[in-house]
Amino acid sequence: MAKVESTEVDGRKVFSVRSFNDGIAQWLGKLPSVWVEGELTELKRQQRWTSVFFTLKDPDTGATVGAQMGRSQFDALELDLVDGDRVYVQGRPSFFKERGTFSLRALKIERAGLGAHLAALERLRVKLAAEGLFAEERKRPLPRIPKLIGLVTGNDAAAKRDVLTAIQTRFPPAQVLIAEAYVQGPRAVPDVIAAMAALVDRGVDVMIVARGGGSFEDLLAFSDEKIVRAVAECPVPIITAIGHEQDTPLCDLAADVRASTPSVAGRLVVPDLNELRAWLDRAHSGLERGARRMVERQALRSDELRRRLAAAPALAVERRRARLNATHGRLAALSPRATLERGYAIVRAGDSLVRDVPGGGTEVGVEIAAGSFSAVVS
């Protein structure tokens, strides 16, 4: 370690600015690396710079410390950090001798509290799943042609535009009612719940809750128990489209349909107008064919009824004639004349029929089939 030079002036040890800065730098260089927690602010990264610069701020007191990290090392972390993120930074104190400024030379960066958040979310997921909030049998089908679509979204133009563009492209007649709300931060939970309730009061028959992509912390509101329960208890079918496909906040599990992006949500909520028209044309053609077949069947039945009606009088007369002939035959078989034809005779004594043998000398009249004659009983 180089010796820090000083000079004697009137009995005092005096350091030049350069020497003083060298001494500070050497002393700080002896300190070990430390972990510092803070809120990341003033993030500056440019392509031509070899380092990324940012400030760590204590959210409770406002105290700050500058920090830097090599650009390639920072990019390799793939944390997608933005201003406002809470982080843990491991680094060494660093002193720039030329400017006499102090900063933290970052060696590692981690998101603050991520493990604790994940553990808490898993506990909440297990609890709500045990209550049945995520059960498949709770899922409701979306209306085929919604009368009024509700959209809960932030004032982020991208997410709102993606939903509306998808809806208008597929089904231009669709009616959409928009309720803007905070979608991150401490105001997001009550704001989103209030927006959902307002849309239900306005009579929507299906709802989309959409938010564009963001960091893990940005999407935390949509895993809040209050929002998850509001989604599960929503009186109309609900589609959630939060973040990107790899993001799965808990409200996605409670929704009737989960869309991977806001654009997909817009395509899911309405039918394709061209496909609907084609289906209606096919249905109309089918109805026409069915009606034509029904008319043809009725015509055949009418022809058969006319033929049967035309033949009915003659058939009735023939049946009556047959019955008369049968009756005539039965009557003829029972008549006295038929009995005489079979060889029998009718014997009378005067005007009375002879049923017993009369006395001798009685004159009788005998009638047979071919005529009659008189006789005397002997």
Question: CATH number of the domain that 265 lies in?
Answer: 3.40.50.2300
Rounded average pLDDT over 27-42: 84
Same structural domain, 221 and 167: yes
For residue 178, pLDDT beyond 90: yes
Mean pLDDT of the chain: 85
Region 58-86: mean pLDDT is: 84
Q: Which of 221, 244, 274 is the last residue of a domain?
A: 274
Domain range enclosing 367: 336-376
Q: Report d(CA 132, CA 111) in Å as an integer.
A: 32
* pLDDT given at position 182: 92
Residue 311: pLDDT band (50, 70, 90) is: confident
Residue 77's Cβ-count burial label (10 Å; 0-12, 13-18, 19+) is: middle
Q: 245 and 185 in one domain?
A: yes
The answer to whether residue 233 sits within a structural domain is yes
Claim to verify: residue 181 and residue 266 sit in the same structural domain: yes
Q: Which of the listed residues 242, 258, 274 is the one where a domain comes to its end?
A: 274
Q: Could you tell me if 181 and 283 are in contact, meaning their C-beta atoms sit under 8 angstroms apart?
A: no
Instruction: For 328-341, give the DSSP string.
Output: HHHHHHHSHHHHHH
**257 in the same domain as 143:** yes
Residues 107 and 235 in one domain: no
User: What Cα–Cα distance (Å) separates residue 251 from each residue in 117, 150, 163, 244, 254?
Assistant: 16, 17, 18, 14, 5
The letter for the amino acid at 191 is D
Q: Sorting pLDDT into bands at 50, 70 and 90, what band is 75?
A: confident
Provide the 10 A C-beta neighbour count for residue 339.
14
Q: What is the rounded CA–CA span in Å between residue 334 and residue 332?
A: 5
User: Degrees (nearest 5) of the Cα angle 110, 51, 219?
Assistant: 35
Q: Where are the alpha helices (DSSP H) in 91-187?
A: 114-130, 157-170
- Residue labelled with tokens 């105001």: 187
**Number of domains comprising the chain:** 3
Q: Tell me the average pLDDT across 240-257.
A: 88
Cβ 239 vs Cβ 269: under 8 Å? yes
Detail the DSSP E strand segments found in the chain: 7-9, 12-14, 34-44, 51-57, 64-70, 86-96, 101-111, 149-153, 176-180, 206-211, 238-242, 257-258, 346-349, 352-353, 363-368, 371-376
pLDDT bracket for residue 165 (50, 70, 90):
very high
Q: Number of helices (H) and strands (E) in the chain: give both, helices first.
A: 10, 16
261 and 142 in a common domain: yes
Q: Is residue 69 part of a domain?
A: yes
Name the amino acid, one letter, at 204: V
Residue 325 located in a structural domain: no
Considering the chain, what percentage of its residues have pLDDT values greater than 70? 94
pLDDT of 199: 97
